[in-house]
Structure 1
Amino acid sequence: MQTASFTGFIETIFYMIAFYYIFKFLAKLFLPLLVKKVVQKAGENFQKQQQYSQDNSWNKTQSKNEVIYDTANSKNPRETKKVGDYVDYEEID
């Protein structure tokens, strides 16, 4: 069985502090590059999805040879539900 020594404790604290500062330094160097790469990848995926969606909708409208206008929303404005009558209460002294 080993006993802990004061120098071993100081050495462990030193390694922990050194690891913290090295990690912090490397994070400042490589984290912006990593974030930039992730953002570019997400942008590429977004563009692929948009392209697929446009191609898919273009093929559907091209095969039907018709144009569809959605005029339901323009003629009828949005109606609200009327649940009941509004009752104005007066305070009695």
Structure 2
Amino acid sequence: MQYASVVGLVRTLLIILLVYFGIKILARLFMPFFLKFVAKKAEARFGGQFSQYQQQQRNQQKTTKEGEVIIDKIPNTKASNKDVGEYVDFEEID
């Protein structure tokens, strides 16, 4: 059976602190490069989506004639529910 020693405890704490501060220093050094990489990837993805949207708009303009109206979506019209009851107007009493 082994027992914990003070030297082993201090050694473990020093290793944990060195790893923590090492990661902290490396993060400060490499984080700007990582953020630039992520920003470039996001810019490329959004730029691709924007160009696809522009392409779709151009294709729609070519297929429609001047003055023609196109409805993309029919709005949902909800009928009022008659089972709810009637509306009662009220007045505040002072």
TM-score when normalising by structure 2:
0.69
**Deviation digits for residues 2-21 of structure 1, max 9, x if unmatched?**
21111111100000111111
Report the Cα distance in structure 2 between the residues aligned to 1:62 and 1:84, rounded to whole angstroms. Answer: 54
Aligned partner of 1:10 in structure 2 is 10
Deviates more, 1:60-69 or 1:43-52: 60-69
Structure 2 residue 57 is matched with structure 1 residue 63: no
Letter in 1 for 2:34: L
In structure 2, do the counterparts of structure 1 residues 50 and 8 end up closer, same or farther at CA, with 3 Å as the change threshold? same
CA distance in 2, matches of 1:29, 1:2: 41
**Identity score, percent:** 30
Which ranges of structure 2 fall in alignment gaps of 5 or more residues? 70-86
* Structure with the larger helix share: 1
**After TM superposition, where is structure 1 displaced by more than 6 Å over at least 4 residues in a row?**
none
Structure 1 length-normalised TM: 0.69
Report the RMSD for the aligned CA atoms in angstroms.
2.3
CA offsets per residue over residues 66-86 of structure 1, 9 Å max, x none? 3557xxxxxxxxxxxxx8867
- 2:36 corresponding residue in structure 1: 36
Superposed CA offset, 1:23-82 (max 9, x none)? 11001011121112111111111111010011111112202333557xxxxxxxxxxxxx
Q: Partner of 1:22 in structure 2?
A: 22
Aligned residues: 78
List runs of 5+ in structure 1 lacking aligned partners: 70-82
Q: Tell me the distance in 2 between the aligned counterparts of 1:41 and 1:8.
A: 46
